[in-house]
Amino acid sequence: MVISLTMNFFYRYPEDELKLLFKYSDHHFNSFVMETEKTYTVSEITRQIKLVLEGTFESVLIQGEVSNFTRHSSGHFYFSLKDELAQINAVMWRGKTHGLNFIPQNGMKILASGKIIVFEKGGRYQVDIDMIQPLGVGDLQIAFEKLKAELKEEGLFDSIHKKPIPVFPEKIGIVTSPTGAAIRDLKSVIQRRFPGVKIIIRPALVQGEGAAEDIASAIDEFNEYGEIDVLIVGRGGGSLEDLWAFNEEPVARAIFRSGIPVISAVGHEIDYTIADFVADVRAPTPSAAGEIVVQNAEDVFEAVKSKVKNIYASILNSILYLNEKIRYIESSRAFYSPLERLNNYKLRIDTLNLSLDKVYQERIGRNLDYVEQLMKRLESLAPEAVLKRGYSIVYKEADGRIVKNSSQLKNGDLTIIEFYRGKAVGRIEKVTNKQ
């Protein structure tokens, strides 16, 4: 075997012969290494890494920008420290947070002291922080405050520009990611509260490169479409970086120039973006936007019933009051003599009373019928009800848009046809444009 050769062996063989010998002996050498090298288990390797990291970085000072900050209900702080090239997870346990005179915020630059700890089970490492002190504001936070000040100076946040949200919108446009939790929450809340409302979604990028421009384009497209009563623009929660598209100028400008009222619904209740300040109404979460944009249909119906009852009670009280007044006048000595005349007035009042009661009953009946018709119309306007009657919806497979006119199609286009139950995919063979 090659491993047993001595230095004299190399001196006794020419260079070319040595190369040939090693070429044919290489697989023997690899086999020897595999047989003699120590094999580690995952636990052993991780334990060695833990000993090296924790022993080397038992006390460190780290300077970085706070990101993904979470203050857990237990009192612990979880966040990341990052710079322009990398980031590291960090934790500050509740017992060490009591002495702080400030709460870290996303975008804040801090100096943290602590030690590196390794979680063997998950194969992760992070900084266990003992103390932090603020250094300043991060680059994103500086950019946020700068743009906020500029747009405020221009008047984009002024209340005079805020448009009212319709009380009973029929069509609601939504600009968000089609796959996130935000759209599921929005649709669920809206359909539960007011089933007859139509929801139109324009899928958009909500983070990363090009997201701000895509969101702005979506808002402009809804305004060009024109058949929308109110717009909801937003996404679910995330870090300052994740939400940054809603802090960019194109989105702010698009919201401000929108002729359609805009509700911003970005992140969690503690998250504020430039879009929130420009929008006509800010919702603390996407779910809250669903509660703002439509009223609860059951509450509306109950309110109408309550008003009808109040009207009935008011009229009945008036009648009882007049009857009591008549009885008082009838018993008066001054009117006792002309009893016949009084009886005539009583007869007239009874007639008017019956007439009033009849009119009231008819009016109440008409109002109840009208309310019932409105509820039936609301139910019939639900997309499922329309599809159940035999109608279908045609989408362009390429972009998912609803086809409203045959001029939107050309031969060869793929379409998706949605029925009451199920969908079908078809290819257009001939398009006839009706003039």
What are the strands of the beta sheet with 423-427, ordered from one edge?
393-396, 414-418, 423-427
User: Token digits for 185?
Assistant: 């929450």
pLDDT of residue 22: 45
pLDDT of residue 13: 40
In this structure, what are the phi and psi dihedrals at residue 419, rounded to the nearest 5 degrees?
-105, 180
- List C-alpha distances in Å: 95 to 149, 266, 279: 38, 32, 41
Contact at 8 Å (CB) between 244 and 274? no
User: Token digits for 102?
Assistant: 């400030």
| Amino acid of residue 146 | K
pLDDT of residue 434: 61
Contact at 8 Å (CB) between 289 and 232? yes
Sign of the four-CA dihedral 299, 304, 307, 313 = negative
How many Å apart are CA 240 and CA 246, to the nearest integer? 10
Q: From the CB of residue 112, how many other CB atoms can be counted at a distance below 10 Å? A: 22
How many Å apart are CA 166 and CA 260, to the nearest integer? 10
Question: Tens digit of pLDDT for each residue in 305-346?
Answer: 888 889 988 998 988 888 888 888 777 666 555 666 777 778
How many Å apart are CA 120 and CA 44, to the nearest integer? 10
How many Å apart are CA 346 and CA 37, to the nearest integer? 118
Q: From the CB of residue 235, how many other CB atoms can be counted at a distance below 10 Å? A: 27
Residue 63: CA count within 13 A, CB half-sphere: 4
How far is Cα of residue 203 from the mean position of the Cα atoms in its chain? 13
| Low-confidence residues of the chain: pLDDT under 50 | 1-15, 17-25, 29, 32-33
How many Å apart are CA 395 and CA 409, to the nearest integer? 10
Q: Name the residue among 239, 229, 162 with its Cα closest to residue 206.
A: 239
Instruction: For domain 57-137, give the CATH number.
Output: 2.40.50.140
User: Token digits for 322?
Assistant: 């007049």
Contact at 8 Å (CB) between 70 and 50? no
pLDDT of residue 123: 83
Question: Tens digit of pLDDT for each residue in 7-31?
Answer: 333 334 444 544 444 444 455 545 5
User: Token digits for 309?
Assistant: 């009852």
Say what angle helices 286-293 and 181-193 make with each other, to 10 degrees: 20
Helix H, strand E, coil C: the string for the chain is: CHHHCCHHHHHHCCHHHHHHHHHHHHHHHHHHHHHHCCCCCHHHHHHHHHHHHHHHCCCEEEEEEEEEEEECCCCCEEEEEECCCCEEEEEECHHHHCCCCCCCCCCEEEEEEEEEEEECCCCEEEEEEEEEEEEEECHHHHHHHHHHHHHHHHCCCCHHHCCCCCCCCCEEEEEECCCCHHHHHHHHHHHHHCCCCEEEEEECCCCCCCHHHHHHHHHHHHHHHCCCCEEEEEECCCCCCCCHHHHCHHHHHHHHHCCCCEEEEECCCCCCCHHHHHCCEECCCHHHHHHHHCCCHHHHHHHHHHHHHHHHHHHHHHHHHHHHHHHHHHCCHHHCCCHHHHHHHHHHHHHHHHHHHHHHHHHHHHHHHHHHHHHHHHHHHCHHHHHHCCCCEEEECCCCCECCCHHHCCCCCEEEEECCCCEEEEECCCCCCCC
Q: Per CATH, the architecture of 142-293 is what?
A: 3-Layer(aba) Sandwich (3.40)
